[in-house]
Each structure stands twice: as C-alpha cells, then as structure tokens.
Amino acid sequence: MSGSESNVAELGILASDPAYNAVLAARIDDTETLARVWIKPNGTPAPFEPGQYVTIGVKVGEKWVQRPYSIASSARDLASGYELYLRLVRGGAFTPLAFALPVGHAMRVLPPKGKFILQPDDERVHLFISSGTGIAPFVSMARTLLADGRPRRAIYLNGVSYVADIGYAELLNGWSASGEYPATYIPTISRPSDPANAGWTGRTGRVERIIRSALGDLSVDPLGAVAYLCGNPDMIVAAEQELRAYGLPDEAIHKELYWPAGKQPTGAVGAPKVAETAE
Ligand SMILES: Cc1cc2nc3c(=O)[nH]c(=O)nc-3n(C[C@H](O)[C@H](O)[C@H](O)COP(=O)(O)OP(=O)(O)OC[C@H]3O[C@@H](n4cnc5c(N)ncnc54)[C@H](O)[C@@H]3O)c2cc1C
C-alpha cells in the first residue's frame, strides 16, 4: 500500500497545520503491513537515547491522531531523521492514516521520551526479546553501541507470524556473518503450518516458548545476562516468567509494553473511527 494525496484527502488528514514540525522523508514497505519510515523534523532533530520513542501524529479536522513509536535508528545519526518500524493495524485509529501518507507529507513529532534504555557500562550478555515491530528499539541500541565502538554481545529472539514479517534480518544476519557486531539473531514463526510459511526450517512457536531452549543451546549464564522485552504485552508477561524460570533475577529484566494487555484497536468495529489524543 502506498500513500497518495487523494487517500489523504479522503481520510480528512490536514495537509498543513501550524503545529506540523516534521515531514515523512522516506519509506520502505517490507510487506503490505510493515514499513520502515523516516521522520525528519524541521530543523535539528532532538537527540535521544537508544530505546526511546517519539510520538508522531497528524491532524484530522480539529483532532490530533497520534501514537508513540520506538526509534530504530542510531542515536548517533540524526541527519536522516528518526527511523521507525510500523505495523499497519487494520481497524486501528492511527496506522491506517500513517500508511496513507505520501512521502513528503507534513506531520507533527513530539520530542523523544522513555525510560526503556540501556544500562551504562553493562557488559552482561544482552537478550533482546521481541514480538513483531518490538525489535525496533533493539536495532537502535545495537546501531548506537556499534557507532560508539562499544558493542555488547547480543542475542535477538523475535517472534512473528510469517516468514515475510521477520524484520531487520539482513542487517542482523549481516552483522553475525561479518562479525561486525556480536549478535545472534533467532527469529521464530508462530504459524508454521500456514502455506505462506512453507519451506521455513528455523524455529517455530511463539517467542516466549523458545526462550529456555535457545538460551540453553547458546549456554547463556542466567547470572551473566540482562534481558530487554518489547512488544505484545501477553508475550512480555509470558517471557518474563520464562526468564525467571531460566534463572534471571528480576533486576535483569526490563520491559516496554506496546499496548495494555487485552486492548483491541480503537478504530475497530463498534469503536469510534478516529481516536482522539489529548494535547
Ligand atoms: C512506547 C511505545 C512504543 C511503540 N513502538 C511501536 C513501534 O515501534 N512499532 C509499532 O508498530 N508500534 C509501536 N507501538 C504501538 C503504537 O503506538 C500503536 O499502538 C500502534 O501503531 C497501533 O496504533 P493504531 O492507532 O493504528 O491502533 P489503535 O486503534 O490504537 O489500536 C491499538 C491496538 O492495536 C494492536 N496493536 C498495537 N500495536 C501493534 C503492533 N505493533 N503490532 C500489532 N498489533 C498492534 C493492539 O491490539 C492494540 O490494542 C508502540 C507503543 C508504545 C507504547
């Protein structure tokens, strides 16, 4: 799906607004529902810590429709703007608008925020566990550490439904192949019997279900590891239990929930079509 001015007008997205302070500078569609986008603020982008998020939004009539997104780019590379990794949530309030925007469209970005950041000087093995687009902050963390010349041993576990949804595979597998960054990338597919996943020979099942076996296979010492969990809240609750069972102490488990457990898209049937967001 690619954005166009007629889509934008049909959806009622304002083309300009005094509070718009950024532009959709570039976009790569990895699948119909997954896109990497670059948001370029007018002027110098505010710096951020890897793991933080920005809130982006557009105005529809009198209302702002906006959502937070983890930054995937390196904190040392602000020149291209903020790289974000978005999933289109059908029936959602904001993502159908975001996916309809053509490159070059103006929008608003709020300054980076968030406490889901790396601990300084932590030399433990980093376990980056995510579902879907929850891999984004971990890409930023590794890119930033690489730019700083201080890579930390990292194991990425990422759960997706379809092979086509495995995000940032080229980057992460490239790092392992070249040895540029000491990362091991283990994606897992939750719907192995779906014809779309035919031929997949990697891990299967939800990401929380593979944690103990993957860490065991890699001989990870639970007392020498720190875990970061990001994405679907149900995955995070289950993954935390698995990590505890593997022997990680509570202080070594950090979490970023993308939405409250049990919540449905606000634009879904029976809900208002466009969510309002307080200023
Ligand atoms: C700190 C933070 C960082 C975030 N970073 C990202 C990110 O990097 N990439 C990203 O795609 N989303 C991210 N999200 C989620 C994002 O803010 C929106 O909730 C999401 O894009 C859906 O917005 P919507 O208005 O279209 O759906 P809404 O109408 O708000 O409906 C929300 C519902 O959509 C579903 N949903 C939300 N996010 C996802 C998702 N990523 N994948 C599948 N289903 C989802 C859930 O059922 C949720 O209850 C983040 C959320 C938080 C709190």
Distance of CA 94 to the CA centre of its chain: 16
Are 29 and 12 in contact by the 8 Å Cβ rule? The answer is: no
CA of residue 72 to ligand 1 center, whole Å = 15
Tokens found for residue 150: 């201080």
| Topology alike, domains 5-113 and 125-257 | no
Instruction: Tell me how crowded residue 160 is: count the other CB atoms within 10 A of its CB.
Output: 22
- Which pLDDT value is given to residue 65? 98
CB of 264 within 6 A of ligand 1: the answer is yes
What pLDDT, in 10s, does the model give residues 5-57?
A: 778 988 999 999 999 999 999 999 999 999 999 999 999 999 999 999 999 99
Instruction: Tell me how crowded residue 62 is: count the other CB atoms within 10 A of its CB.
Output: 7
CA of residue 259 to ligand 1 center, whole Å = 6
Residue 114's identity, in one-letter code, is G
CB of 230 within 6 A of ligand 1: the answer is no
pLDDT tier for residue 277 given thresholds of 50, 70 and 90? very low
**Which residue is listed with tokens 């607004």?**
17
Rounded-to-integer distance, Cα 229 and Cα 168, Å: 17
Distance of CA 256 to the CA centre of its chain: 10
Q: Where are the domains of the chain?
A: 5-113, 125-257
The residues near 64 (Cβ < 8 Å, ≥ 6 apart) are: 57, 58, 108, 276, 277, 279
- Which pLDDT value is given to residue 272? 39
**Which residue is listed with tokens 């289109």?**
88
Residue 94 CA: nearest ligand 1 atom is: 25
User: Beta strands 106-113 and 82-87: pairing type?
Assistant: unpaired
Asked whether the predicted pLDDT for residue 162 surpasses 70, the reply is yes
186 CB burial (10 A radius; 0-12, 13-18, 19+) = buried
Torsion of CA 198, 199, 202, 207, to 10 degrees: -10
pTM: 0.94
| 131: Cα within 13 Å, side-chain hemisphere | 22
What pLDDT, in 10s, does the model give residues 194-239?
A: 999 999 999 999 999 999 999 999 999 999 999 999 999 999 999 9
Asked whether the predicted pLDDT for residue 267 surpasses 80, the reply is no
CA of residue 254 to ligand 1 center, whole Å = 19
| Class of CATH domain 5-113 | mainly beta
- Which pLDDT value is given to residue 268? 52
Question: pLDDT higher for 81 or 262?
Answer: 81
Q: What CATH number matches the domain at 125-257, 3.40.250.10, 3.40.50.80, 3.40.50.300, 1.10.260.40?
A: 3.40.50.80
Which protein residue's CA is at the shortest distance from atom 21 of ligand 1?
95
Residue 56's identity, in one-letter code, is I
Angle (deg, nearest 10), helices 136-147 and 169-178:
40
| 246: Cα within 13 Å, side-chain hemisphere | 30
Residue % of the chain over a pLDDT of 90: 88
- Per the document, the length of the chain is 279
Tokens found for residue 154: 């990292």
Range 113-129 average pLDDT: 95
What mean pLDDT, rounded, does the chain reach? 93
Helix (H) or strand (E) holding 159: strand 154-160
CA of residue 277 to ligand 1 center, whole Å = 14
